[in-house]
Amino acid sequence: MGRYGSELITSTAAQTGNWSALIPTEPTVFASITGFQFAGNWPSKTMPTGITIPGDITAFQISSGSVIAVKARTP
């Protein structure tokens, strides 16, 4: 993980791309997470600092907080 780089996301604007994980750097609320087999009510949960959310993620948006978005290999 992290072989293709990462970026710090602090903006509440929708993000699109290819990521292999999202890691909150402070308590973070997600407005949405889109990817292979993602489901659930994300806006009602505050994710704690440092917890890794792995997956094949193609889009996400945070309502508050910040995350390190770990880039995935692109086809």
Q: Which residues make beta-bridge pairs with 31? A: none
Helix (H, G, I), strand (E, B), or coil: what is residue 40?
A: coil
pLDDT tens digit string along 8-50? 999 999 999 999 999 999 999 999 999 998 876 777 789 999 9
Q: Which residues make beta-bridge pairs with 6? A: 70
pTM for the model:
0.89
The type of residue at 37 is Q
Q: Tokens representing 1? A: 């993980």
The candidate with the shortest Cα–Cα distance to 37, out of 21, 55, 14, is: 55
The candidate with the shortest Cα–Cα distance to 1, out of 66, 65, 58, 56, is: 56
